[in-house]
Amino acid sequence: MVDLQGQYAKIKAVVDPSIQEVMDSAAFINGPKVHKFQKNLEDYLGVKHVIPCANGTDALQIAMMGLGLEPGDEVITADFTFAATVEVIALLRLTPVLVDVDPVTFNIDIAAIEKAITPKTKAIVPVHLFGLAADMDTIMQLAKKHNLYVIEDNAQGIGANYTHTDGSKTKTGAIGHVASTSFFPSKNLGCYGDGGAIFTNDDDLAHTIRGIVNHGMYKRYHHDVVGVNSRLDSIQAVVLDAKLVYLDAYNAARRSAAQKYSEAFKGYSHIMTPSGKTECKGICNTCDCHVFHQYTLTLKGIDRDALVQHLQANNIPCGVYYPIPLHKQKAYEDERYIESDFTVTNQLVKSVISLPMHTELEDDQIEFITKTIIDFIDNNA
């Protein structure tokens, strides 16, 4: 699904000496390299504060701790996302409220958010799923109206530009009150181990969070709040710094691959190719609101299991993100949920399939993959 070796080969000459430098300096934790990456990422995103941490799941948890959310507070998020999003809500004894998503963008459904808001609601967590910016202007308006926090889960969307209704652009993760991201190796900006970060434009919140990531310390050995230990190490920071320079080019390569996939599937009514906001007229692969963390098709009237088998038989990797709605997961079931509120997610889990997507896809690989799928459809649909 990803080709991290091919990508590494191209940046080895930069990455290897910088890793060696960290080894020689022995400044493994919180050294100048972490600070340098943090500053560079702040500049890239146009956000005031980046607080590096150990992984994307911690980042979400710490963001919620920083906002002072308390047990019983309701947090609305999407039913169709990676489990980390709902996991940290539950872990903090907050109440997760899962809602349905939009069938075209796969992102959280605005009407469903509105319907789920109660006097106990304290926050909304939109996920820029598969790399497509969620409808942030509408979400921010809704949050303002109901006095809610917005926590962007930007683990899949780093580098995407959200276009506001006035035409101006902001990077995803720099719009909500706070945001989280992951530097897991397969993410769009991935390190060579685990890593994550929290973003915010709020000075006070940034200060609070800097203490939380470091055992609640604002002064050495004075623990003012209950914190955690969550840090990015210097080796990961130099890898990320080297890759940050290429992030826009990496995302452009993903978009270009996505465009070629979609072009090949044009006219096949059994395949719905990914698209974006209506403003983009369904060709979001040409616009920078999508960074294609995943390239995900929705199948119509095709046996997905059989297609997966056909792809496997041809040595083509594929993935199903995600096969089970979160509201049906044992850990997150809740008797308040009504199936008719999740018609989109319940359908998507049965019909989505993600194709190989990375920065090193060659035209002949894309051709082979699309031809293999089209052959299957011609013979089975």
Ligand X SMILES: *Cc1c(COP(=O)(O)O)cnc(C)c1O
- Note the residues at the interface with ligand X (CB under 6 A): 55-57, 81-82, 84-85, 127, 153, 155-156, 182, 184, 194, 196
CA angle at residue 365 from 363 to 371, to 5 degrees?
A: 100
Shortest Cβ 69–ligand X spacing (Å):
17
Closer residue to ligand X, CB minimum distance, 194 or 341: 194
Would you call 145 exposed, middle or buried from its count of C-beta atoms within 10 A (0-12, 13-18, 19+)? exposed
Shortest Cβ 369–ligand X spacing (Å):
23
- Tell which residue, 189, 168, 187, 149, has the closest CA to residue 50: 189
Shortest Cβ 88–ligand X spacing (Å):
9
**Shortest-Cβ-distance residue relative to ligand X:** 56
Closer residue to ligand X, CB minimum distance, 195 or 276: 195
Spatial distance between the Cα atoms of 376 and 381, rounded to a whole number of angstroms: 8
φ and ψ of 125, to 5 deg: -115, 90
Contact yes or no for 310/286 (Cβ under 8 A): no
φ and ψ of 364, to 5 deg: -70, -30
Closer residue to ligand X, CB minimum distance, 27 or 320: 320
Tokens of 114: 């509105």
* Distant-in-sequence, close-in-space partners of 297: CB < 8 Å, separation ≥ 6: 265, 271, 272, 273, 274, 352, 353, 354, 355
Shortest Cβ 58–ligand X spacing (Å):
7
Shortest Cβ 216–ligand X spacing (Å):
21
Closer residue to ligand X, CB minimum distance, 271 or 353: 353
Whether the CA torsion 332, 333, 334, 340 is positive or negative: it is positive
Shortest Cβ 157–ligand X spacing (Å):
9
Closer residue to ligand X, CB minimum distance, 52 or 56: 56
Closer residue to ligand X, CB minimum distance, 69 or 271: 69
Closer residue to ligand X, CB minimum distance, 84 or 264: 84
Shortest Cβ 172–ligand X spacing (Å):
12
* Distant-in-sequence, close-in-space partners of 310: CB < 8 Å, separation ≥ 6: 372, 376
